[in-house]
Amino acid sequence: MPDLFQLVMEAEGDLIEPFDAGNAVQDIPEEAPQQQQSSTDSSNMSSEGPPPLNENEDMMQYPGADEMSAGGEFGGDETTDDGGGDEQSNEEKKVSEKANNILNQKLYQQMIDRNREVEEIIANIQTITPTLPYEIVKLNDVSLDRLKKALTAGQNYVIDKFVKSQYGENLLYFKKLDVLYSAILEDINTNLKKAKS
């Protein structure tokens, strides 16, 4: 009759072998978490997107070397445009200077003609002065002196300042001078009318 202890040990031995096999089977699930981890990593990678997409996104956010070079070319075009603007401004200046010179030439002739006209009026008044009453001559002397001073100032301006000044400045002076001429001549005419009456 076999020993009970041996039967138990043999039975436990039989149980031990399946138990070891069970441990081996239990080792397999340990790989499963790795597979799950790899699948998790792959899912994370899929959620993050493949690297080329990230690179494209970076390219979209930050210009690359080609884009920077293109920007440099654009900058060069802008410089060229500025140069064109300078050339255009230079041409405009030349046109403005030509227009200024043409207008100044016409105004110069107008001032000379007006000064000559006033000079002739002064000469005519001096010619008829001996025939005028003393009171009228006395009244006209003040206005005639003012007219002579205005004429001298106008002649000096034409000689000394006209060519050096711009058209606008010359025109303003001419208008003021002409207004002064007209006002003084009006006073003289008023006095001469008194002599006729």
The arrangement of secondary structure in 97-196, i.e. its CATH architecture, is Up-down Bundle (1.20)
The string of pLDDT tens digits covering residues 81-134 is 555 667 778 878 788 888 889 999 999 999 999 999 999 999 999 999 999 999
What is the structure's pLDDT at 28?
A: 46
Please tell me the pTM assigned to this model. Answer: 0.54
Higher pLDDT, 19 or 165: 165
The pLDDT of residue 162 is above 90:
yes
The string of pLDDT tens digits covering residues 38-72 is 445 544 444 454 455 444 444 444 344 444 444 44
What is the structure's pLDDT at 60?
A: 42
Residue 177 makes CB contacts below 8 A (sequence gap 6+) with 111, 114, 150, 153, 154, 157
Of the listed ranges 3-12, 27-36, 139-148, the one predicted with least confidence: 27-36
Higher pLDDT, 66 or 10: 10
What is the structure's pLDDT at 81?
A: 52
pLDDT above 70 as % of the chain: 56
CA dist 12 → 19, 81, 193 (Å)? 10, 98, 159
Residue 166 makes CB contacts below 8 A (sequence gap 6+) with 100, 104
What is the structure's pLDDT at 144?
A: 95
The pLDDT of residue 159 is above 80:
yes
